[in-house]
Amino acid sequence: MKNLVYFDLETQNLFEDVGGERSPATIAKLKLSIGVTYSTQEKAYGIWHEGTVDAMIRQLMRADLVVGHNLLGFDYHVLAPYTTLDFSQIPTLDTWEDLFRLRNARVSLDSLAKATLGVSKIAAGTDAVRWWREGSEESLLRIAEYCCYDVKVCRLLHEHGRRAGRVMYTDRYGRKVSVDVKW
């Protein structure tokens, strides 16, 4: 059985805290707050932080396929300062990149989740940074819960795309758009 690992992370900082520019070098300055993985082989979630980031990266490197939304343009750049490993060597399905390639549209996970699955995200990345800054154990648990939910949504979206061969999103004009995918 193949080991698919679904992955998402949240950061300690916002772009405005690290210079504002959205380049790989700036993204690397955002720093990991919490990362979450779900392994289909283990049928379990992993919740990671800076102290356990090496183990998380090892799990990603061992996966047959890592699936996430905007991994190539964001998450892997956040992780880059924590390792010398080359993330381009990880077999990755980036749903954001795939939809951009297919439709030339920047589609949020929330838009995909609402149109395809009928569910919404429970928070935003800016909420996670605010919770990080609060620093309480309860706040860290909120980040982990939010990130786990995003990973679950991404997993359900990927499974739907594999099964149905298509996903949907709502475009900027409020129209539902169907996209054929080969996931």
Summarize pLDDT for 63-78 with one digit per residue, the tens: 999 999 999 999 999 9
Highest-pLDDT range among 25-29, 118-122, 164-168: 164-168
Rounded to whole angstroms, how far apart are CA atoms 3 and 131?
Answer: 32
Measured torsion, CA atoms of residues 13, 152, 83, 128, in degrees rounded to the nearest 10: 10
> Domain-by-domain residue ranges, the chain?
4-104+124-160
pTM of the model: 0.93
DSSP state of 81: G
- For residue 37, how many other CB atoms are within 10 A of its CB? 25
Q: 92 has which bridge partners?
A: 66
Indicate the pLDDT class of residue 19, thresholds 50, 70 and 90.
Answer: confident
% residues pLDDT > 90 (the chain): 90
Indicate the pLDDT class of residue 20, thresholds 50, 70 and 90.
Answer: confident
Could you give the 3-state DSSP secondary structure of residue 44? strand
Rounded to whole angstroms, how far apart are CA atoms 162 and 153?
Answer: 14
Give residues with Cβ within 8 angstroms of 112, minimum separation 6. Answer: 69, 95, 99, 157, 167, 168, 169
Give residues with Cβ within 8 angstroms of 163, minimum separation 6. Answer: none
Residue 52: what pLDDT?
Answer: 98
Asked if 141 and 132 touch (Cβ cutoff 8 Å), the reply is no
Residue 134 has pLDDT above 80, yes or no: yes
Two structure tokens written together for 157: 């979206």
Q: 9 has which bridge partners?
A: 35
Rounded to whole angstroms, how far apart are CA atoms 47 and 82?
Answer: 16
Rounded to whole angstroms, how far apart are CA atoms 106 and 24?
Answer: 18
What CATH number belongs to 4-104+124-160? 3.30.420.10
DSSP state of 75: I
